[in-house]
Structure 1
């Protein structure tokens, strides 16, 4: 944005502004001609004997009419008007009051609308220098020959001579006129530049907001996909194992088959309940994103489901349990759930050991099974482990997954996640 502002040029006037300039130029020309008539009629001929009336009209029009194009070609108009102003004074054209205001206006316009800033500065400086040079020439020509005994000097009683006072007054008055024209023109251009900068910042803000909304939608979709995976995959895996067991013993042991089908029914109800709970919370704005599902206090339910599916499960809690934020508690729950799901689907394990360790500066969850390590590589890179990594990363934790060897002939797979408790304690 800084680079674009360094080379920024103010856009030219709009069609409406051009029409306004035409009206202003025509009105100024009409007023200048009226003032010319009033000046000549009152005899206020300050510059001496005027030229012919057609020439007076020509000089008046030459100074006022270019205002019609002042914002379209500010530099050209300013130079033309300044030259006409000096030439009209040299020819003793009587109209000077409105001409001075027009000269102020064109110098201001160069500063406010000049697209090339270097050129605009030099034009204003050049016009100001030319005007002061013309002022000093007039002083050199007219002041030495002025009659200080003239009637209009009779009341002069200051501390300096009338001619010196006239010279100083002329210099100060012109310095104020040209200084204000330069200053206000520069301020107008600066204001337009700031308006352009605000427009750029507003556009960047809108783009950032749109990008943030897109990222929020993507994150929300990812979160929903992760939650659906965690809720559905575990219970469906348990249902698949129980249904397979029921099919195998249906003829031999109807009682076991009935128990397996009851477990399938219970798992289906639990899955539906969790889905309903999660979808209900998703519809409610303002709820915590991780509010759906369980927490550390519901790990027994997961292990009960795993036991019903045929696994021998163990749950151990070590250390002094610390209060955990709901989001972290649910993250631990989901990690254990996904680890059990993978064990049921891929490992062919007989036992699974779940341990929760509350250490001095972190909490650790460790899930280890005794399944076939040959399929361990198949458990890496799936949606479940991706979801684990995302949950652990969201809490600045560390995730370790991979096969383990616990003595000769004893192999398995481990999922271990560690979460820092320092930041968690502040949140709690």
Structure 2
């Protein structure tokens, strides 16, 4: 039956992938793929079910292509624009400038050809396009879209962070244009050409400044987006780490307490199985109740993993469930005395859950690591704070009685997350004490 189900899944998968022959999936392959997909979703690389795609930067902010690829599409469009635009410009400037010959067309195509490498070698492309345009204008060819290649080359250099190179390339182009228009025009084609008006140099200078300014604006905007994206990813990783820590604490608190009770009762049941069957039955009943409650709480924690953001099916534990905790401890042979001081306020859910888990972990440590069969719990309600004190008379029964395991670490993390403190250690007169102080803001207290 299992092989038939596997074959059916493989056939459906082959149909979706367009394969003519079903692909047989073995159990390790399916498990590995599932684990990889789960890890990718957890890391944020793949969207979960029903999730929308992540937002991205505006297209004019990012590069046109990855640095490992050549921007063929945009470069071909730019080359076509330069060639057609220059042809129209040549018609409008016929008689004033030289006509477009083979050398002119080579120069017009050389600029866009170099722009193919603008992401890999922005500095060389900036100087190359400026030099090509200077030679083109020095040869007396018509003014036109040749300026666009210089602008795109300088833009790519600025966006890549090579601002000085972009400024130098534009400056070289402007100086070359100035020399050709006011000094070298006597020896360069077309014959009988006059000096260029000074207004054109000022216009070219203003155009160069505008190109660099626009490029700087795009570069700054792109850096801001990259920084915001990095901060967003860091925040997502931080939230994922916090969620993993929260789930680990919940699972530790639930399982440590319930398994401790189960372990003690299992020992009692085994010891009394022959001599006192009725008492052994009571121990098994306690084991069943503790395991059922633990499974329910573990299932509630795991439901938050399967459906992030969904409302929990059961309310979070709080101090209102302290009698159940005392009853479970009694089933493990631990008598718990609970005392309250002050008037109980309406605690916020986070504080209420943390208080319950701290008491639960402290009682679990008494069951596991103390020879005492009694424990005292003091809950003190004061202005702006909640005070918890759990004492046992000891003595410690193992090397871990000092509280160096994950239980006390989890308690301290819960208290620290709320701005509270945990003080745990041996008492001067023997035994062990856990003292927790959790803040309660004034607007949350009646």
Q: 5 Å matches for 1:312-327? A: 312-327=335-350
Tell me the TM-score normalized by structure 2: 0.64
Structure 1 residues 225 and 57, CA gap change in structure 2 (3 angstroms): closer
Q: Which has the higher helix share?
A: 1
Q: Does 1:416 align with 2:439?
A: no
Q: 5 Å matches for 1:50-89? A: 66-70=107-111, 72=114, 73-85=128-140
Structure 1 residues 287 and 108, CA gap change in structure 2 (3 angstroms): closer
Say whether the 8 Å CA contact 2:174–2:201 is kept in structure 1: no
- 1:325-351, Cα deviation, whole Å (9 max, x unpaired): 112101111111111111111111121
Q: Does 1:113 align with 2:171?
A: no
What SS does the aligned partner of 1:256 have?
helix
Say whether the 8 Å CA contact 1:109–1:185 is kept in structure 2: no
Query: For 1:277 and 1:293, how far apart are their aligned partners in 2?
Result: 9
Query: For 2:211 and 2:335, how far apart are their aligned partners in 1?
Result: 82
Unaligned 5+ runs, structure 2: 1-62, 115-127, 158-164, 187-193
Structure 1 residues 369 and 81, CA gap change in structure 2 (3 angstroms): same
Map of 1:307 onto structure 2: 330
What SS does the aligned partner of 2:404 have?
coil
Map of 2:57 onto structure 1: none
Q: Does 1:387 align with 2:415?
A: no
- 1:18-56, Cα deviation, whole Å (9 max, x unpaired): 6853774487368637854xx4xxxxxx9xxxxxxxxx9
Cα drift, residue 400 of structure 1? 0.9
Cα drift, residue 214 of structure 1? 4.2
> Based on CA coordinates, which of the two structures has the bigger radius of gyration?
1
Map of 1:42 onto structure 2: none
Q: 5 Å matches for 1:3-18? A: 14-15=71-72, 17=75
Pick the aligned partner of 1:32 from 90, 96, 111.
90
Map of 1:229 onto structure 2: 252
Structure 1 residues 193 and 118, CA gap change in structure 2 (3 angstroms): closer
Cα drift, residue 285 of structure 1? 3.4
Unaligned 5+ runs, structure 1: 1-7, 40-45, 47-55, 86-97, 138-169
Tell me the TM-score normalized by structure 1: 0.67
Map of 1:358 onto structure 2: 381
Map of 1:399 onto structure 2: 422
What SS does the aligned partner of 1:405 have?
coil
- 1:180-238, Cα deviation, whole Å (9 max, x unpaired): 33333443444445445555555555555455444444433332232222112212212
Q: 5 Å matches for 1:192-271? A: 192-203=215-226, 205-271=228-294
- 1:237-280, Cα deviation, whole Å (9 max, x unpaired): 12222232333344444443333333333323332333344444
Say whether the 8 Å CA contact 2:412–2:422 is kept in structure 1: yes
In the alignment of these two chains, the number of paired residues is 350
Structure 1 residues 289 and 425, CA gap change in structure 2 (3 angstroms): farther
Map of 1:184 onto structure 2: 207
Q: 5 Å matches for 1:154-193? A: 174-193=197-216
Say whether the 8 Å CA contact 2:254–2:294 is kept in structure 1: yes
Cα drift, residue 128 of structure 1? 5.4
Say whether the 8 Å CA contact 1:278–1:293 is kept in structure 2: no
Say whether the 8 Å CA contact 2:300–2:312 is kept in structure 1: no
Map of 1:164 onto structure 2: none
Map of 2:31 onto structure 1: none
